[in-house]
Amino acid sequence: MSDHAQDHGKGNHPYHMVEPSPWPIVGSIGGFTLALGLVIYMHPTMFGPGPQPFFETIGLWTIAPGLIIAMITMMGWWRDVIDEATVQKMHTGVVQISLRYGMMLFIISEVMFFAAWFWAFFDASLFPKEAIGSIWPPEGVEVFNPFDLPLLNTLILLTSGFTITWAHHDIRAGKMKHAAKMIGFTVLLGFIFSLLQAFEYSHAPFGFGDGIYSSTFYMATGFHGAHVIIGTIFLAVCWWRTVKGHFTADHHFGFEAAAWYWHFVDVVWLFLFCFVYVWGTFA
């Protein structure tokens, strides 16, 4: 064996040779199962009249199998990545650059994801069809007051963006104790946002299947809410890692990725608030 090959095998290079992992395929199965469960929940007749009563009875529980697999994947994969970064010391400067590119591409894909919901909303609102009276919001639809809970949630998310940025500055300055406190505040604000969103949904004057307004509203705000929950969990893991001393001033990409994701969630909500809540109400 050549010296170069021996060095490569011993890891004498700045790259991370990823070991075989079950999580990509397990995550793919979980994602497919979760998507299928959502489709069945929204269209219980898709498999015919036979299974329809069963699907209608279990309701949103159709997403439970996929959600469980996704949660197991997240916990297992994150555990392995944390081990690679903190124990095996595999996340060199070169590896961190590739991780940053990967996170950037992921956020870009998320932008395209939400673009679909905004496209559906603007198509329905800018060009209301005759079937809904050619007006928007459709006649008879009682919409939310955007300057009630939606405005409060906007202030909460904007504040969380401030606290997570403060935490980032603390980590870069080596102030880990205060950084953990700021991350904790951010997690708390994310949790409060989710509670208020759930409260708003529970008092909604319309249901998911009541028309094009309710469908576009729930798809856009609901998927954003799911991202808030995921981001809150992401940041909770970062809080635990900060307390455990996993991050240093020059080695904290795990937190950085979570902060990027959280800022993305903030920006999406600002668009939702401005267009779906405010403009969609007074258009």
DSSP annotation of 210: S
Q: Which residue in this structure is represented by tokens 């603390």? A: 170
Taking the C-alpha atoms of residue 211 and residue 215, their distance in angstroms, rounded to an integer, is 6
Tens-digit pLDDT profile for residues 62-101: 999 999 999 999 899 989 989 988 888 888 888 889 999 9
Taking the C-alpha atoms of residue 232 and residue 228, their distance in angstroms, rounded to an integer, is 6
Asked whether the beta carbons of 40 and 62 are under 8 A apart, the reply is yes
Asked whether the beta carbons of 186 and 163 are under 8 A apart, the reply is yes
Residue 283 has a pLDDT of 63
Query: Please, which residues have CB within 8 angstroms of residue 231's CB and are 6 or more apart in sequence?
Result: 190, 258, 261, 262, 265
Q: SS3 string of 123-170?
A: HHHHCCCHHHCCCCCCCCCCCCCCCCHHHHHHHHHHHHHHHHHHHHHH
State the angle between helix axes of 93-126 and 253-271 in degrees (0 to 180), rounded to the nearest 10.
10
Residue 7 has a pLDDT of 43
* Angstrom distances, CA of residue 110 to CA of 17, 145, 264, 266: 27, 28, 9, 13
Q: What average pLDDT does range 126-141 have in this prediction?
A: 85
Tens-digit pLDDT profile for residues 14-61: 777 778 899 999 999 999 999 999 999 988 888 888 888 888 888 889
Q: What average pLDDT does range 144-163 have in this prediction?
A: 95
More confidently predicted of 211 and 241 = 241
Residue 150 has a pLDDT of 95
Q: Tell me the helix, strand and coil percentages in the chain, rounded to 5.
A: 75, 0, 25
pTM of the model: 0.85
Tens-digit pLDDT profile for residues 159-208: 999 999 999 999 999 999 999 999 999 999 999 999 999 999 999 888 87
Query: Please, which residues have CB within 8 angstroms of residue 56's CB and are 6 or more apart in sequence?
Result: 44
CA angle 223–228–230, rounded 5-degree value: 95
**Phi and psi at residue 251, in whole multiples of 5°?**
-150, 85
The pair of structure tokens assigned to 48 is: 């015919």
Domains of the chain plus CATH, in order, are 1-90 (1.10.287.70), 92-283 (1.20.120.80)
